[in-house]
A and B are shown apart, each in its own frame.
Chain A
Amino acid sequence: MNDTTPLKEPLAQKRTTPLAISARGLVRHFGEVKAVDGIDLDVPRGMIFAILGPNGAGKTTLIRMLATLLKPDAGTATVMGHDLVAEPHAVRASIALTGQFASLDEDLTARENLILLARLWGFRGREAKARADELLAAFELADAAKRQVKDFSGGMRRRLDIAASLIVTPGVLFLDEPTTGLDPKARQGVWRMIRELARTGVTILLTTQYLEEADQLAARIAVIDHGRKIAEGTSRELKALIGSGFLHVAPADPADIDRAAEILEARLGAAVQRSAEGAQLSVMAGTPRDANEALSALMAAGIEISDFSMGSPSLDEVFFALTGQPAEDQDCKEAAQ
């Protein structure tokens, strides 16, 4: 990595660790709201690492701190061996950020956006153009190079936004909710690009609200909630923590719902979550066999079931399993505090 503060380089080298990001006790408050409330994070180099959490959990605040856009109120962190607070310029030289909203100039063409950023990095006219064309080709945007960004589809925009972060190969690439708002096909496209990019050895820290996205892309996942990390591990480890999946049961007669909940809770030994409409129950089931036995118990008690299914846990269920609270309750809880 080119360090633009060469005097500090020997010092920084000494502190260099195999970790791309190492954070201890990061805190950032906005008035009364503790957006990030003491987060430790170790991200090894060359890995896709996902920060999973619902809206308002503090994901964006965390990523903005690590990208030097926000100063932490407390805590320390190094990014590619550079201290976040003491050497922000060196951190900036070794990262790239793709924010939640496409950070592109809508009036300019795709190619002009990339050339502008290349020139800001210090490439001269011809080099800047060559780099722009190379990135456009790699992200399958060559045909749209001369179109204004405002005419781009959501998926194209995100791809260009990621390409714009790669003018200079970053040590760490931050992707804040890279597929929020995309249709499934566009999402697949962005996922493919992210996976391919990871093969070049770039460390990628992404935030997401989708368990599936973290599962598909990331080698490690940190789950955060209310500005705190509530779990971390590989996708497999997290799932083991939660169980193989969730059993969803809808009693035919709504009057049976309380009794059904009691039976399921007793049988499976886990808290039962009610759907928002109150007609369906969800409960963590260790194995399909456990689920089957619980269903049999319901029938033995004379409770008719109109529908049941077994599914892998949704983000909501992950949160329920980890915190005992549904993810959506955040705003209400904050209001109550």
Chain B
Amino acid sequence: MSAVSPATLPTVKAPRPPSPFSNALAFGWRAVLKFRHVPEQLFDLVMTPIMFTLLFTFVFGGALAGSPADYIQFLLPGILVQTVVFNSVYSGMGLSTDLSKGLFDRFRSLPIWQLSPFAGLMVGDVLRHIIAGLIILCIGLILGYRPEAGLAGVVAAFLLIVAIGFGTGWIFLVLGLLIRTPMTVMTIGFTLIMPVAFASNIMVRPETMPGWLEAIVVRNPVSHMTTAMRGLLDGTATGGDVLLALAAPVILTVVLSPVVLWLYRRS
């Protein structure tokens, strides 16, 4: 006979209800634990952008910008944008996984602020975007990239990364709520995001493209984000650049956050 059993458990009353903020922090802690237990996920996050960086810098860099060294100066800020846009797909996958496993049923039956699981996902996403961004930046520094605006520029660039990730994340939260199979979320997510990411000024200057494509590319929100990212890191960004870059994240948040709420409450 063991001394302790479910029969010996004392009656425990609920402590004072925690604030929504501390609920969100608890969910953020969960995201940190996941990094510790599943460090492989970092590999998923940065492998594609690292491959793109190396491939484009050394294979096409000479042809596109005269030399790999000149090209990486052009490419790296764009790769940061591409990384955060691609990685927001994983937020939707994570949500879909939690929903399919019934984890959200437990969260939803707790007397907590109903949106704190989402706030927690956001905390995790921000961490993810910052970690992936730092890894890409380090690779860039090793390859010879130099942010002309120094530390202040890097900090501003990472704030923009967080804003972009927050905005695009909503698209994939909607997908995650609608689709119960994480793999399908990923497939649909990348199918949506690939053309948007490539028909942009991340890798090639739009002036070199056919007129019709150039017209699309210069209007692509990803191009605005990339222009602002380059400007912030080089120290040449104008307020207008930054506002244009933030337009899409703001619109996505305003339009899609009520949709996410509605889908979540409906289920």
The reply to whether A119 and B33 form a contact with Cβ atoms under 8 Å apart is no
The reply to whether A169 and B33 form a contact with Cβ atoms under 8 Å apart is no
A303 proximal to B (CB < 8 A): no
Query: Of the candidates A2, A138, A194, which one forms a contact with B4 in the assembled complex, judged by CB atoms under 8 Å apart?
Result: A138
The reply to whether B101 and A106 form a contact with Cβ atoms under 8 Å apart is yes
A120 proximal to B (CB < 8 A): yes
The reply to whether B6 and A131 form a contact with Cβ atoms under 8 Å apart is no
A196 proximal to B (CB < 8 A): yes
Tell me the bound Cα distance from A310 to B100 in angstroms.
43
Tell me the bound Cα distance from A69 to B114 in angstroms.
11
Which residues of A in the span 89-126 have a Cβ within 8 Å of any Cβ on B?
89-90, 92-93, 95-97, 99-109, 112, 116-117, 119-124
Query: Of the candidates A112, A121, A148, A200, which one forms a contact with B7 in the assembled complex, judged by CB atoms under 8 Å apart?
Result: A200
Considering the complex, give the chain A residue whose CB is closest to the CB of B100: A101
Query: Of the candidates B12, B29, B34, which one forms a contact with A119 in the assembled complex, judged by CB atoms under 8 Å apart?
Result: B29
Answer whether A138 and B12 are a contact pair too, CB < 8 Å, given A92-B110, A120-B23: no
Query: Of the candidates B2, B15, B102, B103, which one forms a contact with A121 in the assembled complex, judged by CB atoms under 8 Å apart?
Result: B15
Tell me the bound Cα distance from A101 to B10 in angstroms.
27
Encoded as 1 (CB less than 8 Å from any A CB) or 0, chain B from 1 to 44 comes to 01011111111111111100011001101100110011000000
A260 proximal to B (CB < 8 A): no
Which residues of A in the span 63-80 have a Cβ within 8 Å of any Cβ on B?
64, 67-69
A42 proximal to B (CB < 8 A): no
Considering the complex, give the chain B residue whose CB is closest to the CB of A163: B6
Answer whether A93 and B6 are a contact pair too, CB < 8 Å, given A4-B111, A67-B109, A103-B105: no
Tell me the bound Cα distance from A169 to B15 in angstroms.
11
The reply to whether A148 and B37 form a contact with Cβ atoms under 8 Å apart is yes
Query: Of the candidates A93, A108, A169, which one forms a contact with B11 in the assembled complex, judged by CB atoms under 8 Å apart?
Result: A169
Query: Of the candidates B27, B37, B107, which one forms a contact with A108 in the assembled complex, judged by CB atoms under 8 Å apart?
Result: B37
The reply to whether A100 and B13 form a contact with Cβ atoms under 8 Å apart is no
Answer whether A138 and B15 are a contact pair too, CB < 8 Å, given A67-B109, A120-B110: no
Tell me the bound Cα distance from A169 to B7 in angstroms.
12
Chain B min CB distance to A132 (Å): 12
B180 proximal to A (CB < 8 A): no
Answer whether A4 and B17 are a contact pair too, CB < 8 Å, given A102-B102, A121-B110, A139-B6: yes
Tell me the bound Cα distance from A92 to B26 in angstroms.
19
Tell me the bound Cα distance from A109 to B30 in angstroms.
11
Chain A residues whose C-beta falls within 8 Å of the C-beta of B17 in the assembled complex? 2, 4, 122
Query: Of the candidates A102, A108, A200, which one forms a contact with B34 in the assembled complex, judged by CB atoms under 8 Å apart?
Result: A108
The reply to whether A116 and B29 form a contact with Cβ atoms under 8 Å apart is yes
B146 proximal to A (CB < 8 A): no
Q: How large is the interface on A (under 10, 10 to 19, 20 to 34, 35 or more residues)?
A: 35 or more
Tell me the bound Cα distance from A67 to B102 in angstroms.
14
Answer whether A120 and B2 are a contact pair too, CB < 8 Å, given A2-B13, A99-B105, A108-B30: no
Tell me the bound Cα distance from A138 to B10 in angstroms.
11
Tell me the bound Cα distance from A108 to B108 in angstroms.
19
The reply to whether A196 and B6 form a contact with Cβ atoms under 8 Å apart is yes
The reply to whether B101 and A101 form a contact with Cβ atoms under 8 Å apart is yes
Chain B min CB distance to A305 (Å): 48
Encoded as 1 (CB less than 8 Å from any A CB) or 0, chain B from 204 to 218 comes to 000000000000000
Answer whether A103 and B14 are a contact pair too, CB < 8 Å, given A97-B109, A196-B7: no
A36 proximal to B (CB < 8 A): no
Query: Of the candidates A97, A107, A116, which one forms a contact with B37 in the assembled complex, judged by CB atoms under 8 Å apart?
Result: A107
A164 proximal to B (CB < 8 A): yes
The reply to whether B7 and A199 form a contact with Cβ atoms under 8 Å apart is yes
Tell me the bound Cα distance from A197 to B17 in angstroms.
25
Chain A residues whose C-beta falls within 8 Å of the C-beta of B55 in the assembled complex? none
A1 proximal to B (CB < 8 A): yes
Which residues of B in the span 180-220 have a Cβ within 8 Å of any Cβ on A?
none
The reply to whether A103 and B13 form a contact with Cβ atoms under 8 Å apart is no
Chain A min CB distance to B79 (Å): 28
The reply to whether A168 and B26 form a contact with Cβ atoms under 8 Å apart is no
Tell me the bound Cα distance from A89 to B111 in angstroms.
6
Chain A residues whose C-beta falls within 8 Å of the C-beta of B15 in the assembled complex? 2, 121-124, 127
A-B contact pairs, 10 of them (CB 8 A): A1-B13, A101-B101, A108-B37, A120-B26, A120-B116, A122-B16, A122-B22, A124-B15, A134-B9, A162-B6
8 nearest A-B residue pairs (beta carbon): A196-B7, A2-B14, A103-B106, A122-B18, A119-B26, A93-B111, A101-B102, A197-B6
Residues of B whose CB lies within 8 Å of any CB of A are: 2, 4-18, 22-23, 26-27, 29-30, 33-34, 37-38, 98, 101-103, 105-112, 116
Q: A108-B34, A119-B22, A168-B13 are in contact. List 17 more A-B contacts (CB 8 A).
A: A1-B13, A2-B14, A69-B109, A92-B109, A93-B111, A97-B109, A100-B102, A101-B101, A102-B101, A120-B107, A138-B4, A138-B8, A162-B6, A196-B5, A197-B9, A200-B6, A201-B11
